[in-house]
Structures are given as structure tokens and as C-alpha cells.
Structure 1
């Protein structure tokens, strides 16, 4: 590994295999990892039971804990922290992928209708089989998302279609699916409708190790696939025609990127329900912290997404411990102010540069 300078004058580290990474992206990634660990350690101590990180370390060293402490740490808090971080990473990564291929900073799984497709398939499954296993729910979510992706690719047409066309068609599909979902909630039995409404608000209340076990295979598949195909996103950021001019096989790589975005989105919807706007928030905040392209942008976006969800859950358990606050609402309370501050500072930075 040796130091160097990129074409824009920014310092980079060049690896022996020819790959390079910006020093600023590396420092930002290390900072986000440190923030994740600090937030997770603090979050283990939040809740009605008086226990936390010290007790967890004591248990790992062989000391025994009371039943209440064991339940609070190992059954409730650790699964929520781990699942929240993974879900936040998945949604943020999906949003970052879609923003690149659509060349639209507002693109996310909800805007394209992927989340709605997954939700409707899950709703239909739970109406038919209320006690369906998690594996079947996950399969239904992926199937719904893939059906929407296939429809979108068919509507878009050839490889020369623009990112704007994809976004506009995605909005149209999302509107139809949202209307159908609202219709389902309206005419379902009251008990089922209330249960589904709570799930649609997003929640980590049912986080446990079995949910994590069902979520992990889809998460790993989407994560590995996204990082393998993620190098193409730097070409898509320049536009479809420019990507083709640079030799990017658009007809093959765009459906592949869509596939991994759908898998990540479907996995998140299965685990906690839809997390509205997270796919937009996380990439923008990551871009403010350290502008990046390609795989670096995906990794930073994922880290920011995980941090936002863990922070939102900590807010729920710390401030509103006795109130069943939906994750979607607490995520808005944490993420939107940060998003506004980041955009405002970014605008001020541009004004100062001129």
C-alpha cells in the first residue's frame, strides 16, 4: 500500500492489486464504524431493566447474570441492535444503488414500488396463512419485489432508456400498488387490518434471533452481490449513455443491480416493515460526510443507514421506554433533522467555494 494522488488532486491509498481508495473515505468509514460501536454499547444500557455493557462483558467472561438481566440483554436488546443495524444497512444500500442507476437523488425502494410490491405479497400471504413461517414470508417479499422490478424493466424497454424514465415509471407503479395496499387494509377484518397497520409503521419490537436467522441469508446475498456489481455504479453516475461509452454492459448490469436492490429491500421489509425515506436519507448524509463513488459510496451509505436505525431504536427505548413508538416515526425524528442540517451545510459550503 502506498500513498498517491487522484486525478482531482485528492489523496488516495493505492493497493498492490491496482485498487485505490480515497483517504477521506477511509477515515470517514473508520469514524462511522467507531460511532456504530459506541452507539451499540450505549444502546445496551437502555431499557426498564438496569443492566448494560458492563454486565454483558461480565457474562462473556463467565460470570452469571440474573434471569431479568439475561432476558433484557440477550433476548431483547442485542437482537434489536443487530437487526436494526443490518436492516438500516440494507435499505440504505438499496437506495444508493437505485440512485446511481436512475441518476436521481430521491430514488429509493419505496419510490420504485419495490417495497410496496413486497408489502402487498406479504399482506396477501398473511391473510391466507396468518401463521406462515418466516422463510415463506421472506420468499413472498422477494417475489413481490422481483415482480415489480420485472414489470419496471419491461416498461422501461431498451438499454438506452434514461434514468428519468425509470423514476417516472417507478412512481406510477408505486402509486398503483399503494392504492391497492390501502384497499386491502380497508376491507380486511378489523383485527388483521390493525395488525398489518402496526407492521407497516415499521417496528423492531419482534426482533429476535430467529428473525435474524431468516433475514441474514438475504442480507448477505444482497450485500455481496451489491459490492461485486457496485463498481458499475460509478459509471452510471455519469449517465446511461456515458456508461455505455465507457464500456459498461448496461443490458446486463442494470437488471443485476436492480435484482440486488430488490433483495435488500425485500429482506428489510420482511424483518421490520417499510422504513420510509431511509434510502434517501442515508446516502445523502454519507455524501455530506465524505463524497465518494462506486463501492466506497455504497459502504458509507450502509454504515450511515445502520447507525440511523440503531439511533432511532435507542431513542424509542431511552426517551419513550413506556410508549410503543413506531420505528418509522423515531427514524424520522432522528434522520430528518440530520438530513436538513447536512443539506444546509452543503449549500453553505458551495456558496463559500464560489
Structure 2
């Protein structure tokens, strides 16, 4: 590993095997990881029970801890923090992939209809089989998302179809599925309708270690998957025709990226419900923190998504703990102002450059 400079003059870190990382991207990733650690430490002390990080550390080193404090830390707060990061990482990563695929900064699993496919399938299952096991719910979510992904591939045609065509078709499918979801909410029994509406608002209330154990393999697979599709996505940013001219096999890489995004989005929807607009927010905020392409952009987007969800949960359990708030609303209260500030500062930065 050694410091060097790329052809554009930017500092990079060269690793063995020819892999290189932008020094600015590497420092940004370390800073984001630091923010995650800080927010996680802060979040362990938020709640009605008077306990926090210091008690947790002492317990890990053998100090006794009261049953109420242990339950608050180990059973409630830590699972929420970990699952919040995993869900935020997954949705943000899926959004970053789809934005490169469509060459549109507004593309995300919701706009493509992938999240809505998972949600609608889960809603139908819960209406028809109210006591459905979690495994069946997870399979329904993945099946609904994959169904939308397959429909997109079939409807937009082959290799020469543009990313814009996929985006427009995704919007059309999402509109139809949203109408079906609205009908389910209107015409199902009141108790079922209220339960579905609460779930659609997003929640970490059911976070648990078994859920995290089921989610963890997907997170590890996503780290490896970034290396598989990262380079292709970096080329997709240059345009569909350019990707083909540079030798990217659009015929297999595009379906692979869609399937990858579907699985990530479906897992998040199953675990915590829909995280509206996160797939747009996180990549754009990450781009403001440190502009990047390819694999670096995916990693930074995932870390930013995890930060936003942990911060939203901290807001819901801290200053606003006396007012029940779904994680989706808390995420909007935190993410949208940051998004507006980032866009404004980016515009000012461009004006200064010109």
C-alpha cells in the first residue's frame, strides 16, 4: 500500500493487486464510520430506563447489571441500533445502484416500484393469512420485488433499452401497485387496516437478535457484491452506449444489478417496513461529503444510509420519546433538511468554481 496520484492529480492509495482508492473517499469513509460509532454510543443511553454505554461496557467486563437495565440495553436498544444500520445500508446501497443504472439522481427502490412490489405482496399475504410466519413474509417480500424486477426487464426490452425507459416503466408499475395497496387499506377490516398503516410507516419496534442474524448474511454478501457490480456501475454513470462500447455486458449486468437491488430492498422492507426517500437521500448526501464513483460511491452511500436511520431512531427515542413516531417520519425530519443543505452547498460550490 502506498500513496500516489491519479492522472487527474488527486491523491490515491494504491493497494496490492492494482486496486486503488481515492484518499478523500477513504478519509470520508473513516469519518462516516466514526459518526456511526458516536451515534450508536449516544443511542444506547436514550430511553425511559436510566442506563447507557458505560453500564453496557461494565456488564461486558463482568459487572452485575439490573434486569431492567439489561433488558433495555441488550433486548431493546442494541438490536434497534444494529438493525437500523443494516436496513439503512441496504436501502441506500440499492438506491445508489439504481441511480447509476438509470442515470437519474431521483431513482430509488420506491420509484422503480421494487419496494412497492414487496410491500403489496406482504400486505396481500397478511390480509389473506393474518398469522403468516416471518419466513413466509420474507419470501413474499423477495418474490414481490423480483416480480417487479422481472416485469421491468421484460417490458423495457433488451440490451439497447435506456435507463430512462426502465425508470419510466418502474414509475408506471409503482403507481399501479400503490393503487392496489390503497384499496387494501380502504376495504380491509379496521384492525387489519390500522396494523398495515402502522407497518407502512416504518418501525424498528420489532428489532431483535434473530432478525439481525437473518439479515447479517445479506449484509456480508452486499460487501462482496459491491466488488462484482461496482466497476460496471461506474461505467453506467457514463451512459448506456458508453458502457456497451467499453465492453460491459449489459445483457447480464443489468439484470444482476436489478436482482441485487431487489433483494436488498426486500430485506429492509421485511425487517422495518418502507424507508421512504432514503434511497435518494443517502447517495446525494454521500456525494456531497465526498464525490465518488463506482465501488467507493456504493460504500459511502451505504454508510450514510446507516447513519440516517440510526439518527432517526435516536430522535424518535430521545427528544420525541413521549410522542410515538414512526421511523419513516423521523427519517424525513432529519434527512430532508440535510438533503436541502447539501444541494444548496453543492450549488454554491459550482458557482465558485465558475
Return the TM-score normalized by structure 2: 0.98
Measured after TM superposition, the shift of residue 210 of structure 1 is: 2.2
**Corresponding residue for 1:314?**
314
Return closer, same or farther for 1:272/1:140 CA change in 2, 3 Å cut-off: same
CA distance in 2, matches of 1:182, 1:240: 35
1:233-280 C-alpha deviation (Å, 9 max, x unpaired) = 100000110001110000010100110000000000000100110000
- Runs of 5+ unmatched residues, structure 1: none
Distance 1:65 1:133 in 2: 34
Is residue 2:44 matched to residue 1:44? yes
> 1:286-315: CA deviations, max 9, x gaps?
000000011100000000000000000000
Q: Say if 1:90 and 1:223, in contact at 8 Å, map to a contact too.
A: no
Name the TM-score, length of structure 1 as normaliser: 0.98
Match of 1:72 in 2: 72
More off after superposition, 2-11 vs 111-120? 2-11
SS of alignment partner, residue 110 of structure 1: coil
RMSD: 1.0
Distance in structure 1 (CA, Å) of the matches to 2:69 and 2:255: 47
Structure 2 SS opposite 1:229: helix
CA distance in 2, matches of 1:91, 1:142: 14
Contact 1:226/1:260 (<8 A) preserved: no
Which residue of structure 2 lines up, in the alignment, with residue 130 of structure 1? Answer: 130
Deviant stretches of 4+, over 4 Å: none
Instruction: Determine the structure 1 residue equivalent to 2:285.
Output: 285
Q: Counterpart in 2 of 1:190?
A: 190
SS where residue 111 of structure 2 aligns?
helix
Tell me the number of residue pairs that the alignment of Structure 1 and Structure 2 aligns: 354
Partner of 2:104: 104
SS at match of 1:63: coil
The answer to whether residue 32 in structure 2 is matched with residue 32 in structure 1 is yes
2:221 corresponds to:
221
Match of 2:164 in 1: 164
Deviations 1:317-352 (A, max 9, x none): 001112210111000000000000000000000000
The CA deviation at 1:212 is 1.7
- Distance in 2, matches of 1:139 and 1:217, equals 16
> 2:183 and 2:351 mapped to 1: Cα distance?
47
